[in-house]
Amino acid sequence: MPLLSAPGPLLPGTARVVASQPAVQGPAFSPVGPEADETFPEAREPESRTEKLQSCAHPLSAAAQQHSYFGKLFNFSIPVLLWGGLSSPELWDHLSQRSGPYGWQGLTREAVASTLHLLNDSASGLLWGAGEGPGSGCVRCAVVGNGGILNGSRQGRHIDTHHFVFRLNGAVTKGFEEDVGTKTSFYGFTVNTMKNSLIAYSDLGFRAVPQGKDLRYIFIPSDPRDYMMLRSAILGVPVPEGVDKGDEPRTYFGPEASARKFRLLHPEFIYYLTERFLKSEILHSQFGQLYMPSTGALMLLTALHTCDQVSAYGFITANYRQFSDHYYERVKKPLVFYANHDLLLEAELWQGLHQAGIMRLYQR
C-alpha cells in the first residue's frame, strides 16, 4: 500500500481481510488553492539557523482556520504527544474506557504509568526542541510515504531541503536517494508494522530501522506491545513479556537508551483524527474493531498539527493504478485494500487539503 510499508497494523492472529475498492473519485471539497496538477517549486536549501529569518507568511494553521470546511475540523490546541506531565487519574479514567489505539482498555494502570514515568521531561511532549527548527521562520516538513508514485520522481533533493522529514514503516532509502532523499528526522510506526516491514521487505532493501544521532522515533500505541517496547527501549533492556518477549530494542533503535529519542502519539489525538478527519464507514461494519487510520495518515496529520508548512510524498492519489504498491518494488504490484484502513477516504482527504492550500500533495 502506498501509505503503509507493512501489511497493515493488524493484531497478531487477526485474519487479513481484503476490501474491494473502486478507483478514487474526485474530492468532495471546494477546489481552492493549488491546482491538482501543479508541479512542486524548485528546491531550495533551508535557511541557516544563525540567519535572521522572516516570520512565517503563510502558515498552514491560518489556511486551515480560514477554510469554510477544514476550519471546523482542525483543533491545534489538542496535545499531539503523550508524556508523563499529562498523566492524571482523570486521564486514566477517560482512556481506560477505550481500546487501542484510542485508549488504554486492556492495559494495566501500572503498565501505562511505568511507561509515562520514563517520559517525564516536557521535551517528550514536543517533536523538536528549541534551537532544532529554523528559529522564527517557517518550519517546513516533508512526510514521505512509500507509494510507487515516487519511483522515478526525482524528488529526493527537494525532500531533503525540508527542515524535518517524516518516514514510516518500510522506509527504504538506499538505492532510491534521487527519488526519496536521505534525510530522516522522525520515523513513525507501530511495533507490528515495523516488524512486519522488516520481514516483508527485507529482500527489497529494508533490513534495518532508520537510525541516527538526531533521529527520533514516534510510537503509535495501537496495542499493549507498543507500550512494552517503548518502556524497554528507554530502559535499554529486553522486552520482559508479551508477543515481543526477549526482543532487544537496541537492535531496532540503536544503543542509545534515552527518552529523548522517543515520542508517543496521544491516544486522544488519534481518536480526534479518526472522529474528525477519517471517520470511515468501516467503523460501522463487521470490521469496525480492526479499523484505524493508516500509519502514513497518522504521520501526515501529526505533521499538519505541528509544522508550519507540509509537503506529502508517496501517498495515494487519484491515478494510483498507474503505479506500483511501493516505490522500491522491482516488479509492479497493484495496490491492495485491506479492511483495517480506508485508503480511499484518506485519498479524498489529501486531495481536499491540497486544493485548500493547507498542504502540498505530490502528484504525477
Give the end-to-end CA distance of the chain in Å, rounded to a whole number.
17
- The answer to whether 282 and 288 are in contact (CB under 8 A) is yes
Residues of the chain with pLDDT under 50: 1-54
pLDDT of residue 69: 97
The pTM for the full model equals: 0.86
Residue 256: the pLDDT is 80
For 239, 263, 363, the CA distances from 234, given in Å and listed in that order, are: 11, 11, 39
User: Treating both helix axes as pointing N-terminal to C-terminal, what angle do 267-276 and 295-304 enclose, rounded to 10 degrees?
Assistant: 90
Residue 132 confidence (pLDDT) = 84
Distances (CA, A) of 164 to 138, 216, 241: 11, 11, 35
Per-residue pLDDT, 136:
66
Q: What's domain 60-79+139-223+262-361's superfamily in CATH?
A: Glycosyl transferase family 29 (3.90.1480.20)
| pLDDT in the model for residue 336 | 84
Pairing of β 309-313 and β 140-144 = parallel
Whole-number Å distance between alpha carbons of 301 and 277: 9
Report H helices in the chain.
60-66, 89-95, 109-118, 156-160, 177-180, 191-200, 224-235, 250-253, 267-276, 295-304, 343-355
